Amino acid sequence: MEKVEGALQELRPQHTVYFDSGDSVGYGNLAVPLRADPCWPAFERLRCTASVLGNRESHFQPKILQSKLSGLNHPVAVCNLFDKSNRTVFPPSLTLDSSSVRGLEVTVGVIGAMIEITPKDQALLGFKIGELSALHWQKAEPLVQAEAKQLRSTCDVVILLSHLGLKRDLALAESTPEIDIILGGHSHNVLETPLQIGHTYVAHGGSHGFYAGTYCWTGSRLEGGLVPLRPKPS
């Protein structure tokens, strides 16, 4: 963690915004944490602009979810995680401008979407899991598309922070031209440079902190690629 943070600290001053696409904590899926994860103070030191949760950060019980996120001190967006009253647990999207991010010269809409841990309609032994759990996930794609269309009218750039995996990100890029950039995770794919699907660029940086994506948005193109943060074990 210290080596990764040190490498990121060298890169951070060169970039206006810094996003995370989930699975940053050390404990496993649906695990109950015994202590606060060191990634959260590291993100604070790195001035993380916003993130989406990954499956490792998630839980269907609110108190355990709160414990997993203990120490988190930056904005989070998740459009498809709901409580029993069908209210979103986190904002579905965020709008960033010069009043909220120093040096930002455009208005940026940021949507968050993640893999469905306990889908509302998924059945197990005849019971719908999502109706039994305190929190449930709905299918991400329709909610992402609705948020993107809403943000498109007011934002210069629309970004999706996705923890859905590359296959679903590529499908969203093809079906949702309102999104300019998808910064994705979950499937551990390594894209040295972004893929362009129609108008939309899709970027994935692998897993386990081996790479960081360093990009520049020119107004119509996403330029840049991955930078190694630490060597992979042989």
Per-residue confidence (pLDDT) for residue 55, from 0 to 100: 95
17-23 average pLDDT score: 98
219-224 average pLDDT score: 95
* 3 state DSSP class of 119: strand
If pLDDT is split at 50, 70 and 90, which confidence band does 141 have? very high
Residue 84 lies in a domain: yes
Task: Provide the domain limits for residue 110.
Answer: 2-228
Residue 221 lies in a domain: yes
How does DSSP assign 58-96, residue by residue?
Answer: --SSHHHHHHHTTT--S-B--SSEEETTS-BSS-SEEEE
Residue 120 has pLDDT above 70, yes or no: no
Residue 18 lies in a domain: yes
99/207 Cα distance (integer angstroms): 32
**Tally of domains within the chain:** 1
CA distances from 217 to 44, 109, 183, 229 (A): 24, 14, 13, 22
Residue 159 lies in a domain: yes
CATH number of the domain residue 47 falls in: 3.60.21.10
What are 159's two structure tokens? 């970004």
Q: What are 144-163's pLDDT values in tens digits?
A: 999 999 999 999 999 999 99
Q: Indicate the helix (H) or strand (E) that contains 9.
A: helix 2-11
1/188 Cα distance (integer angstroms): 18
Residue 94 lies in a domain: yes
Crossing angle of the two packed helices 140-152 and 166-175, in degrees rounded to 10: 40
Per-residue confidence (pLDDT) for residue 28, from 0 to 100: 79
Residue 13 has pLDDT above 90, yes or no: yes
Let me know: does 163 contact 185? Beta carbons within 8 Å.
yes
Q: What are 51-90's pLDDT values in tens digits?
A: 999 999 998 889 999 999 999 999 999 999 999 899 999 9
Q: Indicate the helix (H) or strand (E) that contains 158.
A: strand 157-163
CA distances from 168 to 1, 21, 73, 163, 231 (A): 29, 14, 29, 10, 29
Lowest mean pLDDT among 18-22, 32-36, 132-136, 172-176: 132-136
pTM of the shown model: 0.94
Residue 128 has pLDDT above 70, yes or no: no
Residue 97 lies in a domain: yes
